[in-house]
Each structure stands twice: as C-alpha cells, then as structure tokens.
C-alpha cells in the first residue's frame, strides 16, 4: 500500500553522503537543517525586497520603482516572509528539536517529511519567477484580495500554484508533527508534562491542518474566476468580492497564530532555563495556548470592519478579538512571573526572549487598539497596521527564532556560537527594529496609507527615519550569518549541558546530538514543561 | 518501529487527511453559506421597494439639499454612463426629475443592470425613487444611446447633519440568458 511506504524508517546505521544525504534526506535533523537554511535564505530574499520598499519610500515621489513594480515588491515581501521564512523556520525547528525533546527516534513519517521540505524550493521558485513573466509578479498584496487578484496577469497564476504547493508542504509537515507528538512520546512523557514548545507546535500543526485547505480553496476560486468562467468574486457576474475576504481571513487569522504560537513555545523553554526556575503556571500556559487556538477561528472579520458589516457583527468580532488578549496576557504574566526572583543570566537566547516579551506586548497592545471597531475605521489600511504586525512578526516570531537558534545551536552542532557577536546582534536588532517600526505608528495615526510608493510631504521625516532603521536592521542580520558560519568552523566545543538551567530532555543527549538519537526510547520521570527528573535507558544508534 | 505503532500512526494520518479534505470542502461551503446569510439578514439587498414618505414627515419643513450626481463603470465593461446635470440644488419633499444617458460602446447587444449608491450611506433610506432605470435590466443594441429619467423625492425626515447627497450608479453587465427578464 502506497501510504505505508511513507512510514518506512530507513536503516538505522545508514547515513548517505554528498548530495544524496540532502536530496533523499529522511533524518529529522538533516531535514530540520534544510528547513532552517532555506528559511534563512528566504528571510534574506524577503529582506532585500523590504529594503527596496524602504529605499523607494526614503523620499516622496517616485525614485526607483514604478507603482506597479512597487506593489509587486510589497506583495512578494509579505508572501515570502510568511510562507518562505517564518513558517518553514518553525517547522524546521520542530523537526530538529521535537524528537529530542519528547524522546522519539525520528519524525513519524520520514519520507513524507522529505517531501514536505522539497516542495518548498519549487514553490518559492515559482513565486520569484513571477517577477519576470509578462505583467510581473502578483501585486494585490499578500492577501490577494479579489477583484484585483482576478484581474492581474499571469504572475498571479504562478502565485496561486505556488500557494497550492506551499499548502501541501505545510499540511504534510503539520501532520508529521501531530502524529509524532501524539504517538511517539517516550514512556513517562505525558501530554500534561511535555515541553511547552511541543504543545505550541502541536496546536500550531492543528491550526495549519484546519486552515491551509481553506486558503487553497480561496485561491482555487480565484483561479476558476480567472480562467474557467466562474464568478465567485466578480460583482459583474453576480459574485461578491467581500466573500473572498471572508474566506481568506478565515484562513488568515489562524495563520497569524500559526506564526505566533511556536514563538510562545520557544520563549517558554528559554525563559525558565536562564531564570533557573521552573515555568510559572505550566497548566495555565497549556490552556491559554489552546484557547488562543480556538478563539483564532472566531475573530476573522476584525480585518474587515470597513466592509460595511452590520453593527452587531462588528461588536461581536470586536469583543471576541479583545477576548484573545486574556490568554495572551496570561502568558506574558507567566513569563514575567517565571523571571521573578529567578537567578537570571543574560546570554543571547535570553536577551532575545526578553526582547520578544517586551516588543511582542507592544505589538499586542496596538492589536487591541485596532480591534476597537470605531478606531479601526480610522486606522484600517494605514501604516499603524504595518507597525502593529511587524511588532508581532519581526519582534515576535523572528526574535523568538533567533532565540531558539542561539539556544539550541550548541546541541545541534556541538560548537558554541560567539557570545559577543550574539549580543551585538541582539542589541543591534533591538535598536534598529524600533527605529524602523516605531515611527510607523505615528505615520499611521497621521493617515499615511499602506502599499503606496509615494506619499504626502508631511510624512517625509518619519519615513526617512524608518528607511535608515530598515537598512541598519538588515545589515545587522549579517552579524547573525557571520556568527553562525564562523562558529560552525571555529566555535569552541560545546559541553553536553551548555546552559546551567537547561533541564529538558534534549540536554540529556550527547553534544552534538547523535545522528540517530533515542533509537531505543528512554524510560522517563518528567515534571511539568518537560523537565526530566530521572531517565533510564535510551540508546542512540 | 513496532508495527503496532506504525498502524497507529497510519490511522492518525488518515484522520488528519480527512480533516484536511473536510476543511477544503468547508472553504467551498462558505460560498452558499455566505449567500444564505446575506439573504436572511438582507445585507446585500440593494434594490428595495420604497414606501412613500411617511405622513408625519409632511409636518417637517422642507429644507435645501445639494444633490450631486455621478456614475461609474467597472473596468472592461462597454458602458458609458453620465448624468445630464452633475449637481442640483433641491428641497426635501420636492419631486425631482433628472436624466441619465447610457451608451453601449460595444458592437454587441448587451444587457445592463444599474446599482445605485448613496454618499453618505445613511442618506440611502431617505431617497425615495419613484422611477429609475435601475429598477430593471436594460437591453441595448450595438452602439445604442438612450436617456432615462429618474424621479425621486428626498424624505423630509432626512437628518439635519446631511446637507449634501451624492447619488452614484454603477452599471454591470448581465450575461445574456441569465437572470430575470
């Protein structure tokens, strides 16, 4: 049976070399590394697009790009960062760390895992290729709103196919994560004991399985509207463009949490380690994460307050959205309570985690502001929204990813990263991130709209500050690359336990983690948040 | 891996794939669901039969209102639509007659449906149209131009905050052989 082939686990001793090791990769660590490197490359590509945008916006008037190309840049920046950088990076981390943290030999479906990664490069190639087809890339914004997406050139078709492929890839990745966590935990690793990172990945994976098919449906409708004579979104044919927004945001809002929940998971591992205290309120963390997952399905129309919804619907979505601030507040409270009276040390992962809490909370607060329907009418489609979601996605998702890479780098590679470069990277990113995105709040409040290549003169100064910040922030990410490349070669050999406070299962493994770990499951005695009290057995092949 | 574990994995895999299929179907199910919700709540009902101005409204004094006229056509459609006057100084409670000219620029017979819009949107409830080309679909021969009268009354109960109303028509194409005659 074809489906059974997916589950076949390769010979334990088998370790291919050269390009075969990567193209035919079935080892979760290899696939995790592929994901992470791919995500970093896409982060650089999306970053270059962002810098193009900021270069154009440095001065009013048109300098470098015509409006058509500018719209393509904003659209592709969004799509690449969401689907090419952040989501694959989280999937990569889950691939790398989950089996180590819950005592599984590998991911449940090793060959499917290979497919979920190798679908990504062709999808991203399609997206980037669309820049050179007649009419250029998709230019409807990352949300691909109809009727614009129905009218654009063939770049839009390439984008639709790319999204289909990305959807299949992330669904397969998510299924793998769910099955691994549900079925492959080592004896003793109970559900209400496992690390928060595993919980966050599990709920994220369920969200992906539930909403990526909805996005696939939405873009398929756009495709049939474009080529097969349907009128789902074409008002002239009896369709309704507002319908697209409903279908899209039914996907889009849970997608926001797909990019945020794993970050919560990472921070919930890092903070206890460097505060040398167990995570405060583990059970409430689990329930908070789950309720954020459930609530995320009920708030989609807060993206659509200006579409002419009845006041009752606006009120419902407004209060439902504000409700999400409660479980999120529980999390922030718990992280701070974990640090309270802890004996903290501030290595790079901890710095990024604290930076995350600070800036993510600012992004969350501007989110609560936007959730007020009456205020949103003024701020909708303005730079305030841009500031808001960059605070939660850059300072949220991205900072947590940096934190995770620094945190687990010794376990993955057996080398220590350079602490000096790491701290420089953090302070540099923190400073220039705020220089870039904080002025955008003011721009939005003053009325500057999103997605425009030119603006009124009174917005010039804040835009110049933001552009300088963006280029410096971008430059700072090269510090990270240099640190990783240098440390891979010349880094100091890492101890099995590089962090004094690290007490989850992955720190019980030798460093670097053996190619095949836990080929025989260990017998565990585990406390909350995956803290290993005692371990017996557990072989690495 | 034990074969019992493999079987458990495959069972879970099948269930999750089923969930994927269900959610894909759900996306398509949103289309009829959306239509039903719009019908039940009346959200998308753009053409509503107007009642004559209420009796108690007659006791409110008439006052001047600036009526601005506009028209727009979806890109790619063959219509040319323009009002014969672009602005009128009118009074509430007064019968107002104005004219629109519609032209079919294509070489085909086309059927069009005009949809009125009002700015500010809350004025919509107070503009009572007695005669309008938007009440029915209009058949146009190739290159044909026709003028249509529009007769309306602005209700005297119009909120005092509104002293100017813009009436704008969008004309859509109706594919031949579809819709009501």
At A476-496, the pLDDT tens digits run 999 999 999 999 999 999 998
Asked if residue A15 is part of any domain, the answer here is no
- What is the pLDDT confidence band of residue B56, given thresholds at 50, 70 and 90? low
**Contact between B24 and A214 using a beta-carbon 8 Å cutoff:** yes
- Name the residue of chain A whose CA is nearest to B73's CA: A236
Nearest CB among A4, A108, A247 relative to B30 is that of A247
Tell me the shortest Cα–Cα distance from B27 to chain A, in angstroms.
5
Over the stretch B72-130, which tens digit does the pLDDT of each residue have? 887 778 888 999 988 889 988 888 999 999 998 888 888 888 888 888 888 888 888 88
Question: A337 versus B46: which is more confidently predicted?
Answer: A337
The answer on pLDDT for A14 being more than 90 is: no
Say if residue B45's pLDDT is above 70.
Answer: no
Distance from CA of B180 to the nearest CA of A (A): 12
Provide long-range contacts, Cβ within 8 A and 24+ apart, for B123-128.
B123/B158, B123/B162, B123/B165, B125/B155, B126/B154, B126/B155, B126/B157, B126/B158, B126/B159, B126/B162, B127/B152, B127/B153, B127/B154, B127/B155, B127/B165, B127/B167, B128/B50, B128/B51, B128/B52, B128/B53, B128/B152, B128/B153, B128/B154, B128/B155
Asked if B11 has any chain A CB less than 8 Å from its own CB, the reply is no
Give the H or E element holding residue A18: none
Distances (CA, A) of A322 to A113, A308, A317, A319: 37, 20, 9, 5
* Extended beta strands in B37-109, E state: 64-73, 79-83, 87-91, 95-104
Residue A4 lies in a domain: no
pLDDT score recorded for residue B49 = 58
Nearest by CB to A213, from B8, B20, B172: name it: B20
Q: Chain A residues with CB-CB distance to B under 8 A?
A: 3-4, 6-7, 9, 105, 108-109, 151, 171, 175, 178-179, 182-184, 209-218, 221, 232, 235-238, 240, 243, 246-247, 250, 308, 310
Average model confidence (pLDDT) across chain A: 93
Give the 3-state secondary structure of residue A380: coil
CATH of domain B56-174: 2.60.370.10
Position A2 in a domain: no
Considering only A206-220, A439-453, B70-84, which range has the smallest mean pLDDT?
B70-84
Structure confidence at residue A269 as a pLDDT band (50, 70, 90): very high
Task: Flag whether pLDDT at A464 surpasses 60.
Answer: yes
Contact flag A240-B26 (C-beta cutoff 8 Å)? no
Q: Among partner residues B13, B23, B27, which is closest to A175 by beta-carbon distance? A: B13
Per-residue model confidence as pLDDT tens digits over A247-258: 999 999 999 999
- Per-residue pLDDT tens for A54-105? 999 999 999 999 999 999 999 999 999 999 999 999 999 999 999 999 999 9
Residue B10 to residue A3, Cβ atoms within 8 A: yes
pLDDT > 90: what percent of chain A?
89
Entry field: residues in chain B:
181
Specify the pLDDT at position A5.
47
DSSP B110: E
Q: Where are the domains of chain B?
A: 1-45, 56-174
- Across the interface, of A179, A211, A246, the residue whose CB is closest to B13 is A179
- Tell me if B10 and A4 make a contact (CB, 8 A cut-off): yes
pLDDT of residue A266: 97
Q: Which of B3, B27, B111 to mutate to test the interface with A (most CBs of A within 10 A)?
A: B27
Q: Does residue A174 fall inside a structural domain?
A: yes
In three-state secondary structure terms, B130 is strand
Provide the residue range defining the domain that includes A141: 28-539
pLDDT (0 to 100) of residue B55: 56
Average of pLDDT values for A18-41? 94
Which residues in chain A are contacts of B4 at CB distance < 8 A?
A: none
Cα angle A313, A319, A324; round to 5: 130
Selecting from A171, A243, A310 the residue whose C-beta is nearest the C-beta of B41 gives A310
- Give residue A351's pLDDT band: very low, low, confident or very high (50, 70, 90): very high
Residues of A identified as active-site = 77, 106, 142, 169-170, 253, 255, 257, 268, 302-303, 328, 331, 450
Domain of residue A310, CATH code: 1.20.210.10
The pTM score is 0.83
Helices A110-118 and A154-183 sit at what angle, rounded to 10 degrees? 160
Measure A360 CA to nearest chain B CA, in Å: 30
Give the residue among A453, A264, A276, A242 at the shortest CA–CA distance from A353.
A264
Give the whole-number percent of chain A exceeding pLDDT 70: 97
Instruction: Please determine, for residue A523, whether its predicted confidence score (pLDDT) is greater than 70.
Output: yes
Q: Across the interface, which of A151, A184, A214 has its CB nearest the CB of B26?
A: A214
Residues in chain A with CB shorter than 8 Å from the CB of B44 are 240
In this predicted structure, what is the pLDDT of residue B177?
54
Q: Using an 8 Å CB-CB cutoff, list chain A residues near B24.
A: 213-214, 216-217
Q: pLDDT band at A539, cuts 50/70/90?
A: confident
ipTM entry: 0.87
Q: What is the mean pLDDT of residues A260-279?
A: 96
B31 touches chain A (CB under 8 A): yes
pLDDT over 70 (residue B35): yes
The residue-averaged pLDDT of B51-75 equals: 76
* B62 pLDDT above the threshold of 50: yes
C-alpha count within 13 angstroms, C-beta hemisphere, residue B113: 18
Number of domains in chain A: 1
Handedness of CA A106, A107, A108, A113 (dihedral sign): negative
Does B31 contact A221 at a Cβ distance shorter than 8 Å?
yes
Q: Name which residue leads in pLDDT, B41 or B20.
A: B20
Q: Is residue A17 part of a domain?
A: no
Chain A contact for B7, CB < 8 A?
no
Q: Taking CB atoms and an 8 Å cutoff, what residues of chain B touch A214?
A: 23-24, 26-27
Facing residue for A183 by CB, picked from B9, B121, B179: B9
Residue A1: pLDDT over 50: no
Q: Would A248 be classed as within a structural domain?
A: yes
Which one, of A66, A76, A79, A55, lies nearest residue A131 by Cα?
A76
pLDDT at residue A142 is higher than 70: yes
Q: Can you give the pLDDT at residue A514?
A: 92
| Interface contact B9-A108, CB threshold 8 A | yes
A-chain residue closest to B75, CA distance: A151
Candidates A152, A236, A306, partner chain B, best to mutate (most B CBs within 10 A): A236
Contact list in B for residue A243 (CB cut-off 8 A) is 30-31, 34
What's the confidence (pLDDT) of residue B179? 45
**Residue A183 with chain B: CB contacts under 8 Å:** 5, 8-9, 12
Find out whether A203 and A291 touch, Cβ atoms under 8 Å.
Answer: no
């Amino acid at each position: 049976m074809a489906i059974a082939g997916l589950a076949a686990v390769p010979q334990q001793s088998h370790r291919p070399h050269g390009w075969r090791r990567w193209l035919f990769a079935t080892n979760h660590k290899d696939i995790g590394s592929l994901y992470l490197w791919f995500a970093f490359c896409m982060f650089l590509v999306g970053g270059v697009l962002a810098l193009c945008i900021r270069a154009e916006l440095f001065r009013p008037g048109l300098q470098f790009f015509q409006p058509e190309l500018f719209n393509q840049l904003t659209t592709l920046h969004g799509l690449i960062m969401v689907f090419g950088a952040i989501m694959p990076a989280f999937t990569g981390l889950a691939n790398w760390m989950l089996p180590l943290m819950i005592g599984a030999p590998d991911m449940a479906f090793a060959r499917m895992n290979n497919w979920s990664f190798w679908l990504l490069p062709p999808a991203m190639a399609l997206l980037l290729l669309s820049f050179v087809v007649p009419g250029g890339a998709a230019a409807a914004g990352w949300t691909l709103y109809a009727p614009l997406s129905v009218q654009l050139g063939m770049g839009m078709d390439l984008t639709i196919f790319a999204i289909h492929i990305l959807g299949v890839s992330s669904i397969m990745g998510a299924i793998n994560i769910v099955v691994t966590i549900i079925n492959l935990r080592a004896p003793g690793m109970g559900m209400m004991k496992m690390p928060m990172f595993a919980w966050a990945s599990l709920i994220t994976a369920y969200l992906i399985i539930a909403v990526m098919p909805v996005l696939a449906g939405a873009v398929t409708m756009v495709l049939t509207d474009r080529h097969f004579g349907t009128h789902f979104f074409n008002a002239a044919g009896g369709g309704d463009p507002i319908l697209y927004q409903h279908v899209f945001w039914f996907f889009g809002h849970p997608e926001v949490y797909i990019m945020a929940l794993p970050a919560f998971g990472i921070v919930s591992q890092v903070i206890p380690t460097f505060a040398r205290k167990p995570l405060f309120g583990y059970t409430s963390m689990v329930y908070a994460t789950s309720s954020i997952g459930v609530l995320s399905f009920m708030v989609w129309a807060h993206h659509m307050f200006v579409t002419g919804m009845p006041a009752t619907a606006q009120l419902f979505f407004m209060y439902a959205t504000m409700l999400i601030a409660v479980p999120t507040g529980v999390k922030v409270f718990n992280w701070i309570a974990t640090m309270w009276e802890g004996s903290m040390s501030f290595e790079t992962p901890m710095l990024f985690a604290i930076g995350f809490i600070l800036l993510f909370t600012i992004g969350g607060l501007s989110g609560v502001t936007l959730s007020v329907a009456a205020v949103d009418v003024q701020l909708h489609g303005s730079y305030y929204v841009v500031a808001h979601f960059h605070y939660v996605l850059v300072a949220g998702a991205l900072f947590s990813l940096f934190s995770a890479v620094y945190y687990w780098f010794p376990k993955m590679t057996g080398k220590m990263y350079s602490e000096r470069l790491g701290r420089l990277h953090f302070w540099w990113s923190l400073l220039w991130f705020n220089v870039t995105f904080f002025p955008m709040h003011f721009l939005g409040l003053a009325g500057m709209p999103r997605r425009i290549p030119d603006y009124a003169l009174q917005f010039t100064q804040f835009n110049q500050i933001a552009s300088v910040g963006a280029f410096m922030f971008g430059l700072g990410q090269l510090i990270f690359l240099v640190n990783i490349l240098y440390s891979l070669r010349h880094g100091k050999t890492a101890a099995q336990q590089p962090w004094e406070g690290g007490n989850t299962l992955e720190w019980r493994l030798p460093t670097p983690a053996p190619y095949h770990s836990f080929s025989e499951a260990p017998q565990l005695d585990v406390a909350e948040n995956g803290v290993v009290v005692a371990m017996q057995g557990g072989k690495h092949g | 891996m034990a074969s019992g574990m493999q079987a458990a994995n495959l069972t879970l895999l099948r269930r999750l794939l089923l969930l994927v299929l269900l959610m894909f179907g759900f996306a398509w199910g949103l289309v009829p669901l959306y239509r039903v919700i719009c019908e039940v709540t009346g959200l998308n009902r753009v053409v509503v039969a107007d009642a004559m101005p209420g009796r108690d409204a007659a006791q409110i004094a008439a006052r001047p209102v600036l009526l601005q006229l506009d028209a727009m056509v979806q890109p790619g459609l063959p219509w040319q639509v323009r009002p014969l006057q672009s602005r009128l100084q009118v009074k509430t409670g007064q019968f107002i007659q104005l004219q629109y000219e519609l032209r079919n620029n294509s070489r085909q017979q086309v059927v069009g449906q005009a949809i009125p819009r009002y700015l500010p949107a809350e004025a919509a409830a107070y503009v009572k149209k007695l005669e309008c080309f938007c009440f029915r679909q209009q058949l146009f021969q190739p290159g044909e131009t026709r003028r249509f009268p529009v007769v309306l009354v602005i209700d005297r109960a119009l909120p005092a905050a509104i002293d100017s109303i813009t009436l704008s028509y969008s004309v859509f194409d109706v594919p031949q052989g579809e819709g009501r005659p």
